[in-house]
Amino acid sequence: MSLTQEQLYAALPPWLQSVAISVYGIRWRNERLGGRFDAYVREFSDRDRWSPGQFGAYLDARLAERLLTAFDSVPYYRESWTARGFSRSALRRLGRANLPDLPVTPKEDFRANPAAFLVTGNPGQQVRTYQSSGSTGTPVATACTADDHRRFIAAREARSFRWAGVSVQSPRSMIGGRMVVTDPESGPPYHRYNLAEQQVYFSAFHISPANAVHYVSAFNRFQPEVLTGYAQSHFLLGRMMLAQGLQFDYSPRALILSSERLTSAMRTVVHEAYRSRAWEEYGAVENVVLATECEYGRLHAHHDFGILEIVDEHGFPVPPGVEGRILCTGMLNETQMLFRYEIGDIGVWDTESCPCGRVHLPVLAGIVGRIEDVVVGPDGRQLVRFHGIFIDVPHVLAGQIVQETKDSILVRVIATESFGDAQRSVLTQRVQARLGKVDVRVEAASTLERTPRGKIRAVISRLREQGHAPFETAR
């Protein structure tokens, strides 16, 4: 939604907000599930059963086709590869084994000029732009058409939802980053209903021990078959349910969870609270990578969605069992192309094959992504993601949320000289919209606290460091 639409939405009563979401859902349902969606699902399902040789030949042919398109029609790669001596004929002969010959695409290059990665002279469908959560500063803006979007969702339908025995078209719930309940001091309900997609969308920003009973009541009312969204939010709610003896009146068929890595402790709580199995997804807003969990609990990378490399500091592959930087080459987006894109995560290939038999879909033993602590509000609410904090805030280069006490939040930003009171006010309002009545201090900084691997910590809790906060999560 645009800023104006969000302001209009916030002014509506809850029942009209559900109507607005349902109207919005009609358009999105057609965008994601219309056109050739069913055909794309069949294609992914068919490739699920291919031999390694058949799958490899398909990937090499598809990669060569995309490399030539990028050389001819994507300004960034035409300039970058030409400067490094690559010709069109050389790219035509380049396969997956030769990908390390190409330079790495830094995320900073993409953030700075996403338009340079668009395919030029590509008339037809309307191009839509999406932004990442913007939780550590300037968000990433990605573009695609409706048909691109259908391919992305078709892959998840075939390789995530159907592997879990459900469908993206099943009645479902979502706990995600959208502020469907816009008042931080709102009473129940803490959900809105999208009738067009049979989806109940829960607020990720009102989960607290006092509110848990209202969340459970809504789950029991709508009984979604598939629970989706933030892994950590489901874990926090599940732990509150167990502590209070709250139960569902039914058993969901599956939970398909993302944004944070599911630890064994989280899986145990989720299984006990929701009486269903959690299935993990790993992806990104850039839609250049997808890994999903099979029936044996192993996380398979889908190279027909995006070729995933794990490399050393020089950009060359590391062996299984060794951690390295994750690089992604998108294979589906015909509108905006990324090759050997450094997504910012660390991964490691498994040293053992999976008994499911999908040997052409390699297994990830682990992924380390964003590091975030749980923040606890004055009223007891708990949240881990500050989705949208820095989106459309000018002059912010990077940012970090630090909880100093239960009543005070520090927002640290690396900003340009033009950063001022207007931006401070926006950041203050956004934190309070998610966390309630807290004091917010916005502070310019020259550096931000990082992990030992050099990643910015998006959310830091000093309460946790003092032994008063509940949990830390790493994807």
CATH at 231: 3.40.50
pLDDT per residue as tens digits for the range 391-418: 888 888 888 899 999 899 999 998 888 9
Side-chain-side CA neighbours of 84 within 13 Å: the count stands at 14
Do 462 and 415 have their domain in common?
A: yes
Q: What per-residue confidence (pLDDT) applies to 474?
A: 41
Do 383 and 404 have their domain in common?
A: yes
Do 229 and 189 have their domain in common?
A: yes
Do 342 and 429 have their domain in common?
A: no
Q: What per-residue confidence (pLDDT) applies to 315?
A: 94
Q: Give the chain's domain count.
A: 3
Do 287 and 315 have their domain in common?
A: yes
Do 26 and 73 have their domain in common?
A: no
Query: Is 468's pLDDT higher than 60?
Result: no
Domain containing 386 — which CATH number? 3.30.300
Do 96 and 186 have their domain in common?
A: no
Query: Is 132's pLDDT higher than 90?
Result: no
Confidence of residue 138 (pLDDT cuts 50, 70, 90): low
Burial class (CB in 10 A: 0-12, 13-18, 19+), 7: exposed
Provide the mean pLDDT of the chain. Answer: 90
Query: Is 72's pLDDT higher than 90?
Result: yes
Do 178 and 219 have their domain in common?
A: yes
pTM equals 0.88
Do 270 and 188 have their domain in common?
A: yes
Q: Whole-angstrom Cα distance, residue 121 to residue 126?
A: 13
pLDDT per residue as tens digits for the range 212-227: 999 999 999 999 999 9
Query: Is 473's pLDDT higher than 80?
Result: no
Query: Is 309's pLDDT higher than 90?
Result: yes
Do 42 and 154 have their domain in common?
A: yes
Q: What per-residue confidence (pLDDT) applies to 272?
A: 97
Handedness of CA 239, 245, 249, 250 (dihedral sign): positive
Do 82 and 64 have their domain in common?
A: yes
pLDDT per residue as tens digits for the range 88-125: 999 988 889 999 999 999 999 998 899 999 999 876 77
Query: Is 160's pLDDT higher than 90?
Result: yes
Domain boundary among 314, 342, 368: 368
Q: Whole-angstrom Cα distance, residue 273 to residue 252?
A: 11
Domain boundary among 276, 305, 332: 276
Residue 467 region by backbone torsions, left for phi larger than 0, else alpha for psi between -120 and 50, else beta: left
> Between the CA of residue 70 and those of 83, 92, 124, 339, what are the distances in Å?
14, 11, 18, 9
Q: Which amino acid is at 237?
A: L
Q: What per-residue confidence (pLDDT) applies to 440?
A: 94
Q: What per-residue confidence (pLDDT) applies to 388?
A: 77
Query: Is 80's pLDDT higher than 90?
Result: yes
Do 130 and 172 have their domain in common?
A: no
Q: What per-residue confidence (pLDDT) applies to 147?
A: 95
Domain containing 126 — which CATH number? 3.40.50.12780
Q: Which residues contact 126 (CB under 8 A, 6 or more apart)?
A: 145, 146
Confidence of residue 368 (pLDDT cuts 50, 70, 90): confident
Q: Whole-angstrom Cα distance, residue 473 to residue 259?
A: 10
Percent of the chain with pLDDT over 90: 67
Domain that holds residue 202: 3-33+165-276
Domain boundary among 350, 368, 386: 368
